[in-house]
Amino acid sequence: MTLHLSKGKEELSIGLMGGTFDPIHLGHLVTAEEVRIQFGLDRVIFVPSGHPPHKEAREVSDPEHRYLMTVLATITNPFFTVSRVEIDKPHDKLTFTIDTIRYFHDHFDKRVKLYFITGADAILEILTWKDYQELLSICSFIAATRPGYYLNKLEETIGAVCPEALSNIHVLEIPAMAISSTFIRKRVSEGKTIKYLSPESVTQYILKNRLYQDED
């Protein structure tokens, strides 16, 4: 993947938004757009996870379904794109954030600044991530939070072990973060409407392919 700097611009800023996107919803999209605006990003790349190490394969929908739903949800925004870098990994290999960040770090121009967009809950666990010190050295992190959710433990947990990392972690409150994929899956399994929780194209894809309808 090649990006070209605009004339007179010294650096490009790219946001990487990882997640299972099972399914992608308006909370994800509002978060990505708000981060893009607040941090002046040139592009946000959605990266559906392949085989996340913290979840059993049976807990996550087929990668192609999740990839296609993400494409449907982002196709109308010229600043959004979707990467298959994790989806296309061999099925017997787990995908770690550090591998994805290394991939983009190596493939982009060195004048591209990377931001990894994730949720508040996840950022508090970053010290348990594989090669977290390298992660924090080659990529900035943006922790999206819902209203009323405060990262009081951020300095206590991360600052106590790796205080220099705090300057590389940014917190942004997003009202739409109250929506969750778990909530959407539960409503579908109960036969309830999910209108206005996900883009209409994603809702129709879920219904057409009967996703989540057999869950407990």
Note whether residue 80 is domain-resident: yes
CA 42 to mean position of chain CA atoms? 16
Note whether residue 104 is domain-resident: yes
Domain span at 57: 12-177
**103, burial (CB in 10 Å: exposed 0-12, middle 13-18, buried 19+):** middle
Note whether residue 188 is domain-resident: no
- Any idea what the CATH number is for the domain that residue 96 is in? 3.40.50.620
Tell me, what's the pLDDT at 150? Answer: 66
Low-confidence ranges of the chain (pLDDT < 50): 5-7
For residue 115, the cross-strand partners are 15, 140
Is the distance from CB of 15 to CB of 41 less than 8 angstroms?
yes
How far apart are the C-alpha atoms of 216 and 214, rounded to whole Å?
7
Beta carbons within 10 angstroms of residue 207's beta carbon: 13
State how far the alpha carbon of 79 is from the alpha carbons of 16, 36, 132, in Å. Answer: 12, 9, 28
DSSP-derived 3-state class of residue 216: coil
How many Cα atoms are found within 13 Å in the side-chain-facing hemisphere of 96? 11
Tell me, what's the pLDDT at 50? Answer: 84
Note whether residue 193 is domain-resident: no
Note whether residue 5 is domain-resident: no
Is the distance from CB of 154 to CB of 169 less than 8 angstroms?
yes
Is the distance from CB of 39 to CB of 169 less than 8 angstroms?
no
Query: Number of folded domains in the chain?
Result: 1
Note whether residue 127 is domain-resident: yes
Note whether residue 103 is domain-resident: yes
Note whether residue 199 is domain-resident: no
Q: Taking the model in full, what pTM does it have?
A: 0.89
